Amino acid sequence: MNDDEPVLLHTEGHVLHITLNRPRALNALTHTMVRGIDEALTRAADDDAVTAVVIAGAGDRGLCAGGDIRSIYEDARAGRRASVDFWRDEYRLNARIARFPKPYVALMDGIVMGGGVGVSAHGDVRVVTERSRVAMPETGIGFVPDVGGTHLLAAAPGELGTHLALTGRAIGAADAVLCGLADHFVPSDRLADLTTALARSAAPAEVTATVRQYATDAPDGELTAHRAWIDHCYAADTVEEIIDRLVDSGVPAAKETAAGLLTASPTALKVTLAAVRRTERLGSLEAALDQEFRVSCRAFTGHDLVEGVRARIIDKDRAPRWSPAELRDVSAADVAGHFEPLGDQELGLAAI
* Catalytic residue annotation: 67, 115, 138, 146
Burial 37-74 (b: 16+ CB within 10 A, else e): bbebbeebeeeeebbbbbbbbbbeebbbbbbbbebbbb
Helix spans in 122-251 (H) = 149-154, 160-167, 173-178, 191-198, 204-214, 227-233, 239-248
4 Cβ neighbours under 8 A, 6+ residues apart:
none
Positive/negative CA dihedral, 165, 167, 169, 175: negative
**Whether 320 contacts 308, CB under 8 Å:** yes
Instruction: Give the integer Cα–Cα distance in Å for 134 and 170.
Output: 5
Instruction: Give the integer Cα–Cα distance in Å for 154 and 142.
Output: 20
- Beta strand 15-20 pairing with 133-135: unpaired
Indicate the SS3 state at residue 52: strand
| Angle, in degrees to the nearest 10, between helices 82-98 and 69-77 | 140
Using a CB cutoff of 8 Å and minimum separation of 24, what contacts does 278-285 make?
Answer: 278/339, 279/150, 279/151, 279/154, 280/154, 282/151, 284/151, 284/350, 285/94, 285/95, 285/98, 285/122, 285/148, 285/151
**Whether 108 contacts 61, CB under 8 Å:** no
With left for phi above 0 and alpha for psi between -120 and 50, is residue 114 left, alpha or beta? Answer: left
77 Cβ neighbours under 8 A, 6+ residues apart:
306
**Whether 144 contacts 296, CB under 8 Å:** yes
∠175-178-182 over CA atoms, to 5°? 85
DSSP state, residue 324: S
